[in-house]
Amino acid sequence: MAEMQTQACTPGGKCVPCESLNKSHILSTEQIEAELTSMKMWSMKDSNKISRSYTARNFQCAMDSLCAIGKIAERENHHPDMHLTGYRNVEVVLFTHSLDGITANDIALAKMIDAEVEFEYSPKWLKSHEAKKE
């Protein structure tokens, strides 16, 4: 994998303030794709974002996951766009807003979300997405 910019957050660390980043911190498509190979629940959205979409077991489970993601985002001072539709369909979209692109901060935050949030999926959704979970 191509080396990511070192000045960014890492799991267990703190995100570098976005104000200190510049366009040179935007990851190439190849770097992003390399990272996403081990992040099966995430995918490219447009050309400048990564997203994770899922159907929660119920409304409360959707809200619980969003609140947990929000706590991580506040701790890291790096905030995703989060969407709840149909009372339990969730999409989390990550990109560095100030640069309108994907940086190591976004990849690290996605990994923190994966590691720290306990997701309760709809059984039907989980069955149809089992390969992604492995």
Per-residue pLDDT tens over the stretch 93-116: 999 998 999 999 999 999 999 999
Per-residue pLDDT tens over the stretch 4-35: 444 455 545 566 667 668 899 999 999 999 99
Give residue 118's pLDDT: 96
Rounded CA-CA distance 48/76 in Å is 20
| 89-94/81-85 β-pairing | antiparallel
Rounded CA-CA distance 23/37 in Å is 24
Give residue 133's pLDDT: 61
Per-residue pLDDT tens over the stretch 40-61: 999 999 989 999 999 999 999 9
Rounded CA-CA distance 126/134 in Å is 11
Read off the tokens for 9: 């957050």
